[in-house]
Structure 1
Amino acid sequence: MKLYIALLSFSLLTGCASLSESACKEGQWEEIGLADGHKGEKVDVIHSHINSCSEYGISLDTKLYRRGYDKGLRFFCNPDKAFDLGYSGQEYNNVCTNKKFNTEYQLGFEIHNISKEIERISVEIERLKVDLEGANSNGFASNKQTLRKEIKILKYKRSQLKNKLVLLTVKSGRKLENLVDYF
Structure 2
Amino acid sequence: MKQLLLMVSLLSLGACSSISQQECQLGDWFAIGKTDAQQGIAASQFRSYQKECARHGHNSDFQAYQQGHAEGAIEFCQYDQGLLWGQQGKSYNSICSGALEAEFKLGYQRGRSWYSAKVALENLQQVFAQNTETIAELEQRIDANTDALSAAQSAQQKQQLSTENKSLRQQLGELQRSQGQLQRDLQQAELNFSLLQKQEGL
TM-score (norm 1): 0.81
Establish whether residue 126 from structure 1 lines up as the match of residue 137 from structure 2: no
> Does residue 112 of the first structure (1) align with residue 111 of the second (2)?
no
Asked if structure 2 preserves the Cα contact closer than 8 Å seen for 1:79 and 1:100, the reply is yes
User: Residues 29 and 52 of structure 1: is their aligned pair in 2 closer, same or farther, counting only changes over 3 Å?
Assistant: same
Shift of the alpha carbon at 1:84?
A: 2.9
On the 8 A contact 1:33/1:67 being kept in 2, the answer is: yes
Contact 2:29 2:62 in 1 (8 A): yes
Letter in 2 for 1:55: R
User: Do the aligned partners of 1:111 and 1:169 also contact (CA within 8 Å) in 2?
Assistant: yes
Any conservation in 2 of the 1:40–1:92 contact (CA below 8 Å)? no
Partner of 2:34: 34
Please identify which structure carries the higher helix content. Answer: 2
Q: Compute the RMSD of aligned alpha carbons.
A: 2.4
1:71/1:133 Cα in 2 relative to 1: closer, same or farther (>3 Å)? same
> What's the offset of the Cα at 1:118?
0.8
2:105 maps to which residue? Answer: 102
Residue 180 of structure 1 corresponds to none
Q: Which runs of 5+ in 1 are unaligned?
A: 177-183
- CA distances 1:45-100 after superposition (whole Å, capped 9, x unpaired): 11111111111222211000001111111111122332233224444532212212
Instruction: Tell me whether 1:175 sits opposite 2:176 in the alignment.
Output: no
2:141 is aligned with 1:138 = yes
**In terms of mean alpha carbon deviation, does 74-83 or 17-26 score higher?**
74-83
Q: 1:122 touches 1:158 (CA, 8 Å); kept in 2?
A: yes
SS at match of 2:43: coil
* Paired amino acid for 2:29: W
Mapped to 2, the partners of 1:137 and 1:66 lie a distance apart of 67
Question: Displacement, 1:7?
Answer: 5.0
Partners of 2:7 and 2:23 within 8 A in 1: no
Conserved 8 A contact 1:7-1:34: no
Match of 1:152 among 164, 180, 200: 180
Whole-angstrom distance in 2 between the partners of 1:63 and 1:120: 47
Measured in 1, the distance between the counterparts of 2:108 and 2:102 equals 10
The structure number with the bigger radius of gyration is 2
1:110–1:11 distance in 2 versus 1, CA, 3 Å: same
> Take 2:6 and 2:121, find their aligned partners in 1: how far apart are those partners?
40
Q: CA deviation at 1:33?
A: 0.5
Aligned equivalents of 2:92, 2:117: Cα separation in 1: 18
The runs of 5 or more residues in structure 2 that have no matched partner are 143-167
* 1:23 to 2:20 alignment: no
Q: Provide the residue aligned with 2:11 in structure 1.
A: 10
Cα deviation code 1:89-148 (max 9, x no counterpart): 444532212212112112112212211221221122111111101111222210101111
- In structure 2, the CA distance between the partners of 1:4 and 1:143, relative to structure 1 (3 Å rule), is farther
CA 26–110 in structure 1, closer or farther in 2 if over 3 Å, else same: same
Task: Report deviation, 1:4.
Answer: 10
Amino acid at match of 1:75: E
